[in-house]
Each structure stands twice: as structure tokens, then as C-alpha cells.
Chains A and B, each alone.
Chain A
Amino acid sequence: MQKKPTTLLALDIISLILLGVSTYLALVFAPTEAVMGEVQRVFYFHVATAWVGMLGFIAAGVSGIVYLRTGDLKWDRVEMAAVEISLVFFFITIVLGSIWARPVWNTWWTWDPRLTTAAITELIYIAYFMLRQGIEDPDRRARFGAVYTLIGAVSVPITFMAIRLFRTIHPVVIGTESAEAQGGFNMTSDMKLAFFFALFAFTVIFIDLFWNRIRMGTLADKVEQLKLKVMQ
């Protein structure tokens, strides 16, 4: 059994601390927003989790291409970890976004470009895992995963641009006017601190989770190999 590297252990602890500090900054330290009130605090985590989702998305695309070029299964584990993390964090983003949207926009959901693209990205991730589950051979599984990740990674930005074009040419007001007003707000310096700290904290959390998940994938593969040896 391999022991967890001390760097990783340290990173675990640092991530927890950063999460705690970020929570404090977002929920207590930052001033209450004038128009939206307390619910605006969700914004700090909403953007941070979306940022982590994006990091995962890019990591998945890149490692997919690297796997296809090198054939080294390590990159397949990296890709799977990235997709999993991105799936979970985009889901958190969507839920937090809905929580924010309901009191501010008077609707849980709109079909604006970012939300629709987020939903489609989640569906692509789910399709990715369903594809992998249906294949026995690890090499083929890795290849198909990488191909689908590449196709998904290219199609998502195109989808975003297409929907944005769709909405610009045919602006549709869904719900009350405030939904299309795109509630922006100015951030005071305290808010900016909470915001950027949340981004930083979640980046560290991403690296920690990513490393842990890759390590888990490596160990899982080792278990598979040992199982095959025993069965023969």
C-alpha cells in the first residue's frame, strides 16, 4: 500500500483551511449588497465553482489529446479525473446559480447562453461516463473517452457562440423584465477581496481534488491488474 505523499496531505489541510477562510470572507466579512441583499453572497462561490469547472474542462480536453498522441494510460486517468471534477463543480455552479436567480430574477432558470451551455456541457460529461461504462477493454475505453472529450471540447465553445447569436438576434424576455436586465453590480474593495480569495481558494481545492482523484485512479488500475493476476 502506498502512503499518501506528504505534499498531498499538506495540500488537503491547506485546502480545508482556505475553504474555511473563504467561507468566512464571503458570508461574514463581505458587506451586504445594496439591491439584492444577502443572497448575493452566493456569487462568491458561484463564480469560483464555475472557474474550477472551466479548469477541469480545459484539463480534460488537453489530456485527451495528449493521451491520443502518447498512448500512455496515465493521461486517461488525468482526463477522467478532470471530467469528474468539472461535472461536479459545474453542477454546484448551476445549483448555486438557481438559488441566486430565484429571488433576483424571479425564475429558477433561463435559457440564456451561459446556462444553456452549462446544461449541455453537463450532458456531454454524463454521456462521457455512460460511454466509458459500456466498454470492457481499458485501452479502447481510454481511446473512446479521449475522442469524445475532444469532440465535446470543440463543440461546447461553438454551442456557446451559436446560442449567443440566437439570443442576440431574437431577444426573448422570459419571466419578468429583471431577468434580461442582467443584474450587474459594482464591487467594493471588501467584496473584491472576498471574490478573488474565493477564486484562489477554489483553485487550490481544484488542484488538491485533481491530484487525489488521479491518485485514486492509479490505485484503482493497480487493483484491476492485481485482480486479473489472481484470476489467472
Chain B
Amino acid sequence: MAEQTITTTRTKAKSNYWKAIAAIAWKDLAAELRSRELISAMLVFSLLVILIFNFALELDITTRRTVTSGVLWSTFAFAGTLGLNRSMAVEKDRGCLDGLLLAPVDRSAIYFGKVISNLAFMLIVEAIVLPIYSVLYNVNLFQPGLLMVILLGSIGYTTVGTLLASMAVQTRTRDVMLPILLFPVVVPILIAAVKASGGYLTDAPMTDILPWLNLLIAYDVIFTAIAFMVFDYVVEE
């Protein structure tokens, strides 16, 4: 009887954890579905960045294939900071974060919930930007390899970005702080993602692309682990 109770409590605690993550992610997604402010801002910003790149770089037929991955990832990196900033600022301003912290749930669940919702926003924006870029520059961006790289890169970016955004939003300089904190640390993701995407777009052999994929996966795993261990310290009062 006693063993049954212990198992039930443990499984209950575990399912509470997953339920908490799902609840937090769903809260953000539901709020965004109603207002659509975040995604529309990120989307319009991305399109404007692509527009600027059109004038900044000579995207003729020959250079397009090699430069596309760089343009895409620059766009995602900048739009990503917008999304991360707004997402965490909303938590802080409306006192949601304090409410979440009072809930009897592991702090890391809050972190993972936020990561999932931030990742969802970033992926939605990317899903819209890709076809538009394909049409504007006549490049086929719908290759499974490329989509996988975008997923892995976005995961790494949002993992570190959510953690740093939680810190940045508690400083005086707020929004400005996040890019300054994030970009130097996220360089390996940008390098690996650009190289891997470029590899897929130029039909490079798998042996060339594999090291970059490995780097992306390694980075994702390492920083998810670190963020998981360290998030408590970031939201402590």
C-alpha cells in the first residue's frame, strides 16, 4: 500500500511538472492568438530587414545561393530579440512573473514553458518568412535539411535567449540589454546554422554539413542543461 502511495505521489509530481510547462506555454500562445501583436511585429520587422538586405548586398543570381543563409539568419536573429524582449517584458509588467513564482511548481517548468512559447513564435515567423523569401528571390527554401537546421538553430537561440531575456528585463536598460548580452554568446549557433543552411542550399556533401549539425545539437543540449540548472537564480527574489 505504502509503495503504491509513493509511486502515485511521484508520478503525480511529474505530471504536475509537465502540466505546468504546458499551461505556461498555452497561456502565452492563447494570449498571442487573441492579440497577435508579437508575431505581427516580428513578421513585419523581418520583411523590412530582408528589404534592407536587398539594397545592402548585391543579391544577384550567383551570390544569392551562397548569401541566402546569412541573410536569413541575420533576419531571424534580429527578429528573435524583438520576440524575446516583448515576451518577457509582458510577464514583468503585468506581474505575471510574480504570480508564476508563487505557484507550487518547479521554477524550471516556468523556464521550459517560456522557451516553448518563444520557440513557437519564432518558428511561426520563420514559417511565414521562408516562402516570402523564396518568392522574392526565386530560391527554393523548402528542403527538409534546411528546415531541420532552422529548427535546431531556433531551439538553441530561444534556449539561451529566454534565460538572458529573463535577466535583461530586470535591469534598468531593459530592451537594449538583450542583444548586447545575447549576440556574443549565440555566435556558435549563428556560425553553425549559416554554414549548415548554406550547405543544404548549395547541395554540399553530407560530410561537409555534418560537423555543423553536430555543433548545433551539442550547443542546444549544453545550454538547455545550463539554463535548467541556473534559471532559479535568475528569478529568485
Contacts and interface: CB of A to CB of B under 8 A. Distances in A.
Interface of A: 68, 120, 123-124, 126-127, 130-131, 134-136, 140, 143-144, 146-148, 150-152, 154-155, 158-159, 161-163, 165-166, 169
B185 to A, nearest CB: 5
Interface stretch (B13-21, B86-94, B126-134, B159-167): B159-167
Given A151-B163, A155-B187, A159-B187, A131 B234 contact: no
A130 B188 contact: no
B233 A143 contact: yes
B34 interface: no
B103 interface: no
Given A151-B160, A154-B223, A159 B233 contact: no
B5 interface: no
The 8 A-B residue pairs with the shortest CB-CB distance in the complex, in nearest-first order = A134-B171, A134-B172, A123-B184, A162-B188, A155-B185, A124-B184, A158-B188, A162-B191
Interface string B23-53: 0000000000000000000000000000000
Contacts of B164: 148, 151
A147 B163 CA distance: 9
Interface of B: 160, 163-164, 167-168, 170-173, 177, 180-181, 183-188, 191-192, 195, 208, 211-212, 215, 218-219, 222-223, 226, 230, 233-234, 236
Tell me the interface secondary structure of chain A in the complex.
helix
A151 B211 CA distance: 22
A133 B172 CA distance: 9
A148 B164 CA distance: 8
A147 B173 contact: no
Contact of B170 (A140, A161, A165): A140
B200 to A, nearest CB: 15
A143 B171 contact: no
Contacts of A151: 160, 163-164, 185, 223, 226, 230
Contacts of A130: 173, 177, 180
A127 B215 contact: no
A148 B181 contact: yes
B231 to A, nearest CB: 9
B230 A150 contact: yes
Contacts of B230: 68, 147, 150-151
A114 to B, nearest CB: 14
A123 B187 CA distance: 12
Contacts of A148: 164, 167, 181
Nearest to A126: B180
A165 B192 CA distance: 10
Contacts of A165: 211-212, 215
27 contacts: A120-B184, A127-B180, A130-B177, A130-B180, A131-B168, A131-B171, A131-B177, A131-B181, A134-B177, A135-B171, A140-B170, A143-B234, A143-B236, A144-B167, A146-B233, A147-B163, A147-B233, A150-B230, A151-B164, A151-B185, A151-B226, A154-B222, A155-B186, A158-B222, A159-B191, A162-B187, A166-B191
